[in-house]
Amino acid sequence: MTRTISHIFLLAGKDLRIQARTRHTFGLIAVLGVLIVVVLGLGLGAQAEVRGFGATAVLWVAYLFSGVLCFEKTMAVERNDDALAGLLLAPIDRSLIYVSKLVTNLALMAAVALVVTPVGVLFFSFDLSAAPGTFAGIIAISMVGFAAVGTLFAAVVSSSRLQGGLLAMMVFPITLPLVIVSTRLMTAVFRDGQAVEASTVGVLVAFDAIFLAVSWVVFEWVLEV
């Protein structure tokens, strides 16, 4: 068990070191996220069409597009110079490669959320002070499911050198339950002042559990092709 965890940290550490040294991926996805919020802010916020808790929907759009780009970039690192071949030769369980990529993606997404969320809060006059912990908790649970699916399909797209844009097409319909549930929860908490229902959060947790388990199992097959 300790050995497994150390392998995951070793692989994720390698990825995060590459990202920290180049800072290319983080810069790209953070700026993309901010740009999306600004464009939607100009279109919706400036006309006061969307205000307050509506910012959560705008933030979701930013998270989704930044996330897809993040998943693509972190997997592309392995395709350059055929680094994946070396990784596959390493004497470790191949599903640990999936977990390490997931950890890397989650770390990068958390960093992007720390940049993009204050921008959305600012532009849409969203009063987060009512329940900041609930907001962070819902987004964190949703991001785990999003990254679980995104990391799996990034490996699929990367392994097949498919056309650009296909990853977004594969991930967005799958992650619709996350968007629906989390925006409903935000509306209940920030607009209606209600408490979070455990059964509703259960849908998010079920999504995370199902797709973490499935991705863990099928990741090795995806790498084979």
Alpha-helical segments (H) within the chain? 2-22, 24-40, 55-79, 83-89, 95-123, 132-160, 166-174, 176-186, 198-224
Which one, 6 or 160, has the nearer CB to another protein?
160
Is 162 a binding residue for another protein by CB under 8 A? The answer is yes
CA atoms within 13 A on the CB side of 154: 24
Is 61 a binding residue for another protein by CB under 8 A? The answer is no
d(CA 17, CA 80): 16
CB 13 within 8 A of CB 95: no
Span near another protein by CB under 8 A; candidates 37-45, 66-74, 112-120, 158-166? 158-166
Is 152 a binding residue for another protein by CB under 8 A? The answer is yes
Is 169 a binding residue for another protein by CB under 8 A? The answer is yes
Closest approach, Cβ 34 to another protein, in A, equals 28
Hunting for tokens 């590459």 — which residue is that?
Answer: 18
Which one, 116 or 181, has the nearer CB to another protein?
181
Hunting for tokens 């930013």 — which residue is that?
Answer: 62
Q: Identify residues 199-218 at the interface with another protein (CB under 8 A).
A: 200, 203, 206-207, 210-211, 214, 218
Is 159 a binding residue for another protein by CB under 8 A? The answer is yes
Which one, 3 or 161, has the nearer CB to another protein?
161
Is 147 a binding residue for another protein by CB under 8 A? The answer is no
Is 189 a binding residue for another protein by CB under 8 A? The answer is no
Residue 220 corresponds to which tokens in the numbers above?
Answer: 């090795």
Angle separating helix axes 95-123 and 132-160, nearest 10 degrees: 130
Q: Which of 48, 163, 192, 193 binds another protein (CB under 8 A)?
A: 163
Is 112 a binding residue for another protein by CB under 8 A? The answer is no
d(CA 87, CA 96): 11
> Who's near 223: CB < 8 A, 6+ residues apart?
84, 88, 94, 97, 155, 159
Q: Provide the binding-site residues for another protein, judged by CB under 8 A.
A: 149, 152-153, 156, 159-160, 162-163, 166, 169-170, 173-174, 176-178, 180-181, 184, 200, 203, 206-207, 210-211, 214, 218, 221-222, 224-225
